[in-house]
Amino acid sequence: MRPRRCAPRLLAEVDERRNPRTNATVNQLLDRYLGVLEIEDTTRAGYESILRNYIRPLLGELSIARINGETLDSFYAELRRCHARCDRRPRIDHRTAVEHKCDRRCAPHVCKPLGGSYLRQIHTLLNGAFGRAVRWQWLGTNPVQQSDAPAQPRPMPDPPAPHQAARIVEEAWADPDWGMLVWLAITTGARRSELCALRWDRLDFGTGVLSIRSAMAQVGKRAWEKDTKTHQHRRIVLDPQTLALMRGYLQRCAQQAALLGIDLRQDSYIFSTAPDHAAPMRPDTVTQRYSRMCTRLGWTMHIHQLRHYSATELIAAGVDVRTVAGRLGHGGGGATTLRVSAPGPPRPTSEPLVPSPAVYPSCPRHWTTPLGRSRCRSLLLGLRRRRAHTSRSRPTSGPPSAVVPTRQAITSPARPRWPTDTESRSAPRTARLPS
């Protein structure tokens, strides 16, 4: 009796597959799916990139009724063969699509498979879209579930070796602002977006606790501040050497602001390209600068490997995995932390996180020497550009000379003037120098 009861339902499903309720294409389904999906802007930008580069060119014009397990398996196999979906004919991969003169960057095409993580994202995106189609009664069954999901790639963390980390930080100290960011990335293991969103009022010099409450997101030229990746705040205790470096860096930032006649607000960003630290550093800028620095050193690395280095060194030093996970902001009780840390021999817990005493001074010499005329001119030029950009979008009262100091005032040997008690009470709160 059971087969007879199931037969009508199976026949109805087959009929729905042959005669779907809509003639929508895969492109139309994906557009509708993204229109109702509630995700962050960065996730949406990643999904749109996947659709534009991989899904729409091959499956976009097909009817959703023609998608089945065989079609998807062939689709995944094609991406595993060549991520550029070439026609197997010899060709040259040009560095740009416009007319140009070829150089070493224009090389013969070599087929490279698409990474396993990208295949998993494609499968997840298609599964979600066709799952909604079933709920909307566009289809009777989800064809994505009839295909084999791409295997989850095994994590292969490749953090820099201790001697590489020492060389990287030594190279970064050539620019104190950049060196402080790289040092903090190594010692705290914070994400690049979290480093860009740090503010001075989130660092307690009394207790040595750094609070991570937000992160910077960027899509193209647009950047904004948002919650952290796990939507949770966390507090990191800095070691005495890092705390001393941050104290010296704050003094340097305050000195630069005073020479320009501006105030360093207490809620200003720690890492910024603006003289008054009112604008944060962009995450993509950090990634590109770090990659170029490692290229000069002869290595191919990305800044996220510093996060793996921090996890590896802490676990090797005998720190509890749950403690390391909380410090890095990982979820899952430490499972993610174990996946991104490279195995290695145990080390004594008394050994510092980075081999710094002989290589990294407690305060770089750049912070103890006065600013030269060229540095003052560059800071003045940057401030004038920023004020000019602000004045175009919002009119200001008074001439520009009343806002921006003259070159003579910048390069004069007089000591910077700090606000009086009366001015301090009426002016916005500024960052205090730690004792």
Averaged pLDDT of the chain: 78
Three-class secondary structure of residue 319 per DSSP = coil
pLDDT value of position 370: 45
26 neighbors 62 (Cβ within 8 angstroms)? yes
pLDDT value of position 201: 92
Cβ count near 14 (within 10 Å): 12
One DSSP character per residue, 350-409 reads TS-SS--TTTS-SS-GGGTSPP-HHHHHHHHHHHHHHHHHHHHHS--SS-GGGTSPPHHH
User: Among the listed ranges 82-91, 315-324, 358-367, which one has the minimum average pLDDT value?
Assistant: 358-367
pLDDT value of position 155: 78
User: Among the listed ranges 8-17, 30-39, 132-141, 281-290, which one has the minimum average pLDDT value?
Assistant: 8-17
Range 162-367 classified under CATH 1.10.10.10: no
Identity of the residue numbered 339? R
Predicted confidence (pLDDT) at residue 411 exceeds the cutoff of 80: no
Residue range 298-307, pLDDT digits in tens? 999 999 999 9
* Residue with tokens 């190279």, as numbered in its chain: 171
- Rounded Cα gap, residues 383 and 391, in angstroms: 12
132 neighbors 33 (Cβ within 8 angstroms)? yes
Which tokens go with 88? 């197997």
Residue range 322-332, pLDDT digits in tens? 888 888 888 77
pLDDT value of position 401: 31
Predicted confidence (pLDDT) at residue 423 exceeds the cutoff of 80: no
- Any idea where the domains of the chain sit in the sequence? 15-146, 162-367
pLDDT value of position 434: 47
- Rounded Cα gap, residues 209 and 236, in angstroms: 6
pTM for this prediction: 0.73
Q: What is the CATH class of 15-146?
A: mainly alpha
pLDDT value of position 95: 83
User: Among the listed ranges 4-8, 234-238, 336-340, which one has the minimum average pLDDT value?
Assistant: 4-8
Residue range 162-213, pLDDT digits in tens? 889 989 988 999 898 999 999 999 999 999 999 999 999 999 999 999 999 9
Residue range 132-163, pLDDT digits in tens? 999 998 988 899 998 888 888 787 888 898 88
pLDDT value of position 135: 92
The partner residues of 25 in beta bridges, in order of sequence, read 63
Residue range 371-390, pLDDT digits in tens? 444 554 555 555 455 545 54
